[in-house]
Amino acid sequence: MNYNEQSKNSIFNIQHSALKSPLLNAKGISHDFDYPLFNNINLTLNPKETIAIIGMSGCGKSTLLNIFCSLLQPNVGDVYFKDKNIFQLSQKEMLELRRDDFGIIFQAHYLFRGFSADENLKIAEFLSGNKIDDDLIEALNIKHVISQGIGELSGGQQQRLSIARVLTKKPKIIFADEPTGNLDQDTAKEVMNVLFDYVSKQNAGMILVTHDKEIAFSCDKVYKLVDQTLEQIK
Ligand SMILES: Nc1ncnc2c1ncn2[C@@H]1O[C@H](COP(=O)(O)OP(=O)(O)OP(=O)(O)O)[C@@H](O)[C@H]1O
Ligand SMILES: [Mg+2]
């Protein structure tokens, strides 16, 4: 093998192993508030993979997602991003992880209310150093409302704007809690296509909580949170 082939091979191996090692690994997660919510949950998310979590209202899906995305420390268990135990990071490392690597899309979206849609995107652009992707704005069908103030957008438009804002920073993992909850079926499908497309093009991963079975089953894997445990049903 000549030098060129060797270096090509090693680049391939690096890329290959980066694609194979998990993005997120949750080990032995247990948590309770007034009563036990779940016990000994394990979950692995690989690059390019999308995972849906379904389950009855109040069973603990949002709580579990909050744990996976670093916002809530579980009573027991660890969550690893790549090889880092996220609950052992310093405060500075934790902020960097949330700013650079994790994209959190929750129903209560945190848009800056005194600003226009466009200004909200510019802020994301400024904070992340990444350009807003115009195709994304078009695909999310919010181009026509881009100069309007946040208060003048519908709930679904705000939701799509917050998705655009999160994707602008190019996160490695998207955590989404009912991201299509405010949307009609057609718009919901389009938003999901934007998210799936993002995951596949960026070698990212996604963990999604939803009540919509059709959307859940369009993910690679589906887990049901039931009897305090995650049961894989796809
Ligand atoms: N911060 C908290 N303090 C105390 N109890 C909480 C807290 N957050 C959630 N809970 C309780 O934990 C349980 C699970 O809540 P969670 O929001 O995780 O459910 P969920 O599966 O996401 O429900 P839904 O499908 O309705 O969104 C509920 O009984 C809720 O009242
Ligand atoms: Mg919830």
The 10s digit of each residue's pLDDT in 199-222 is: 999 999 999 999 999 999 999 999
| Position 108 confidence tier, pLDDT thresholds 50, 70, 90 | low
* pLDDT tens by residue, 47-73: 999 999 999 999 999 999 999 999 999
Determine the average pLDDT of the residues in 101-111. Answer: 85
Domain ranges for the chain = 46-71+100-232
Calculate what percentage of the chain has a pLDDT beyond 90.
75
C-alpha dihedral sign at 34, 35, 40, 46: negative
Determine the average pLDDT of the residues in 27-35. Answer: 95
Q: Ligand 1 centre from 157 Cα, in Å?
A: 26
* pLDDT tens by residue, 155-174: 889 989 999 999 999 999 99
Report the chain's mean pLDDT, rounded to a whole number.
Answer: 90
Ligand 1: which residue has its CA nearest to atom 2?
33
Calculate what percentage of the chain has a pLDDT beyond 70.
91
Q: Assess contact for 157 and 87: CB atoms under 8 A.
A: no
> Phi then psi for 152, rounded to 5 degrees?
-95, 5
| Position 153 confidence tier, pLDDT thresholds 50, 70, 90 | very high
Compute the distance between CA of residue 164 and CA of residue 161 in angstroms, rounded to an integer. Answer: 5
| Position 78 confidence tier, pLDDT thresholds 50, 70, 90 | very high
Instruction: Determine if ligand 1 sits within 6 Å of the CB of residue 182.
Output: no
* pLDDT tens by residue, 113-122: 899 999 999 9
Q: Assess contact for 155 and 182: CB atoms under 8 A.
A: yes
Determine the average pLDDT of the residues in 132-141. Answer: 92
User: Best mutation site among 54, 62, 226 for ligand 1, i.e. most ligand atoms within 8 A of its Cβ?
Assistant: 62
Within 10 A of 43 (CB to CB), how many other CB atoms are there?
20
Q: Ligand 1 centre from 225 Cα, in Å?
A: 13
Strands (E) located in the chain: 24-32, 36-45, 50-54, 76-81, 84-85, 102-105, 173-177, 205-209, 221-226, 229-232
How confident is the model at residue 39, as a pLDDT?
A: 96
Residue keyed to tokens 């779940």: 38
Q: What CATH number should be reported for the domain whose range is 46-71+100-232?
A: 3.40.50.300
How confident is the model at residue 5, as a pLDDT?
A: 57
Instruction: Determine if ligand 1 sits within 6 Å of the CB of residue 35.
Output: no
Q: Ligand 2 centre from 87 Cα, in Å?
A: 22
Is the model's pLDDT at 19 over the cut of 60?
Answer: no
Alpha helices, H only, 32-133: 61-68, 91-96, 117-128
Ligand 1: which residue has its CA nearest to atom 4?
33
How confident is the model at residue 7, as a pLDDT?
A: 54
Instruction: Determine if ligand 1 sits within 6 Å of the CB of residue 116.
Output: no
Determine the average pLDDT of the residues in 23-37. Answer: 96
Ligand 1: which residue has its CA nearest to atom 28?
58
Compute the distance between CA of residue 164 and CA of residue 120 in angstroms, rounded to an integer. Answer: 10
